[in-house]
Structure formats: structure tokens, C-alpha cells
């Protein structure tokens, strides 16, 4: 563990955009699915690293709604990998006291993947450490759209008035309603965009970009991201002096 890491300033919720699997495989003259297969170690490392550091929530962008547009063979390979990986990783989750949940429209996933997810959730539900959320068939715009639909239904049914609609209600209607907003979002592979991920929830999230391709991402890279996060002053619209006054009270 790095000496620069302040264990009293660990972010509560870290979200990760796991990017670069295809480029990692291409560098090795292999198919894209080979990159996805070798990304499992990075998932395991980051999950264990977060559990060891006391992070309470980790959300991984595993499959977006837009990923269905990828080549058919890659999508089929990803789904098969998802099915096998969830089942294999349960012992690791149990070892690290990690609870698993999906976010996203999982009803469109293969039945076997849905069943394995349900089994893993059931097996890990008693764990009270890190909550690992897998964003599967998820996108920020889909999440917000579904929240709007839910609010409209409530209004039509007379359960609320327009004046009762506020930010808190919107947040409660999102797929992530049981999660706090992420404090830190990590994107690997040198890309500098959000890619339709947790758009509402990341209004004040600190963004960290690294050139490391996801299959190469390790605990040390996670620590580097957190160290960078700890150097930042989070103001939430206030001035630096106002934040200092609050901290010193």
C-alpha cells in the first residue's frame, strides 16, 4: 500500500468505466474477446482493493445499452463470459465479504446470466462489506428516462403533484436509488468521456482518467486514482474559503 494514501479520506463510492479491452487484445494480435477474458483479473483486483481499503460501494460499467451494437460474435462472447464469470467469482466475493447487485435492464440479458446473477445475489446477500454493483445493459439516459416514466405514472395516478417533483424524488426513482452518488469515477485506456454512464449521479463526481488499459489495471492503479482524488478540493458550488470554514468548525 502506498504511503501517500490517506486511509481517513477514502471515497465511499467509486464508479469505474472499464475501457481498453479490445485495444489490449489488438496489441497482442488476438481477438477482442481475448481482451475481455483477460479483464477478469482487473475486476478481481479492484474489487479486492476496494474491500481492503474500506470503500463501501463499487460500481463497474460492465455492459452498456449501446454495446448491443457491437459485432454479433463479440456480444455473444461477452454474454457467455458474463454467465461463466459471475458463477466463478462468487467464492472471491464471499472471501472479501462483498455483496453483489446488478443495475440496468437485466431482463434483456440471457436467461442463464439472469439466473447466475440471482444465485450470486442470494449467496452474497448476507455480506455486509463492499456493495459491488454491476451495470449491465445500463446507460445514464436510459436510467433518467425510466425515472421520468415512473414519476409520470405516479402523477397520473394522483400519487404526487408537479410541485412535489424535486431532485430527491428523481434520485429515488433511478436504478441506483440504494446507492450514494459516486465521489470518484475512474476511466481507463486514455479516453476522456463519460460514455452515457451515471449522468445524473455524477454531477459532482471527481473524474480520473488513466492511459492504463483495463486488463492491466491493478490495485496500485486504484491507489493512484484515490491519491489523486485526495489532492482535490471538493467545493460543490462553494468557494475554497467556505469549505475551509466548514472543515475547521
CA distance 106 to 219: 29
Q: Helix, strand, coil % (nearest 5) of the chain? A: 50, 15, 35
H/E element holding 243? helix 240-248
Are 9 and 184 contacting, i.e. CB atoms less than 8 angstroms apart?
A: no
CA distance 40 to 225: 20
Could you give phi then psi for residue 65, rounded to 5 degrees? -65, -30
Quick one: which of 23, 40, 16 has its CA closest to 222?
16
H/E element holding 118? helix 111-124
Are 135 and 197 contacting, i.e. CB atoms less than 8 angstroms apart?
A: yes
Are 175 and 138 contacting, i.e. CB atoms less than 8 angstroms apart?
A: yes
What is the rounded radius of gyration, in angstroms, for the C-alpha atoms of the chain? 19
CA distance 63 to 243: 37
Are 102 and 69 contacting, i.e. CB atoms less than 8 angstroms apart?
A: no
Q: Where in the sequence numbering do the catalytic residues fall?
A: 19, 67
Quick one: which of 169, 112, 176 has its CA closest to 138?
176
Amino acid at each position: 500500500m502506498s504511503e501517500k494514501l490517506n486511509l481517513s479520506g477514502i471515497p465511499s463510492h467509486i464508479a469505474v468505466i472499464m475501457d481498453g479491452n479490445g485495444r489490449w487484445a489488438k496489441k497482442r494480435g488476438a481477438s477482442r474477446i481475448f481482451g475481455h477474458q483477460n479483464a477478469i483479473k482487473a475486476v478481481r483486483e479492484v474489487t479486492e482493493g476496494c474491500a481492503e481499503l474500506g470503500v463501501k460501494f463499487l460500481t463497474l460499467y460492465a455492459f452498456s445499452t449501446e454495446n448491443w451494437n457491437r459485432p454479433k460474435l463479440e456480444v455473444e462472447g461477452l454474454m457467455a463470459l458474463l454467465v461463466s464469470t459471475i458463477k466463478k467469482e462468487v467464492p472471491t466475493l464471499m472471501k472479501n465479504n462483498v455483496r453483489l447487485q446488478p443495475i440496468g435492464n437485466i431482463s434483456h440479458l440471457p436467461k442463464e446470466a439472469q439466473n447466475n446473477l440471482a444465485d450470486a445475489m442470494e449467496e452474497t446477500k448476507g455480506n455486509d462489506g463492499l456493495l459491488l454493483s454491476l451495470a449491465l445493459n445500463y446507460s445514464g439516459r436510459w436510467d433518467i428516462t425510466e425515472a421520468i416514466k415512473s414519476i409520470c405514472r405516479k402523477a397520473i395516478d394522483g400519487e404526487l403533484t408537479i410541485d412535489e417533483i424535486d431532485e430527491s424524488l428523481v434520485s429515488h426513482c433511478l436504478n441506483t436509488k440504494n446507492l450514494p452518488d459516486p465521489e470518484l469515477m475512474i476511466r481507463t485506456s486514455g479516453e476522456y468521456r463519460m460514455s452515457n454512464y451515471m449522468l445524473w449521479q455524477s454531477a459532482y463526481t471527481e473524474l480520473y482518467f488513466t492511459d492504463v488499459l483495463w486488463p492491466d489495471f491493478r490495485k496500485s492503479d486504484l491507489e493512484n486514482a484515490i491519491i489523486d482524488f485526495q489532492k482535490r478540493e471538493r467545493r460543490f458550488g462553494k468557494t475554497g474559503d467556505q469549505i475551509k470554514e466548514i472543515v475547521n468548525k
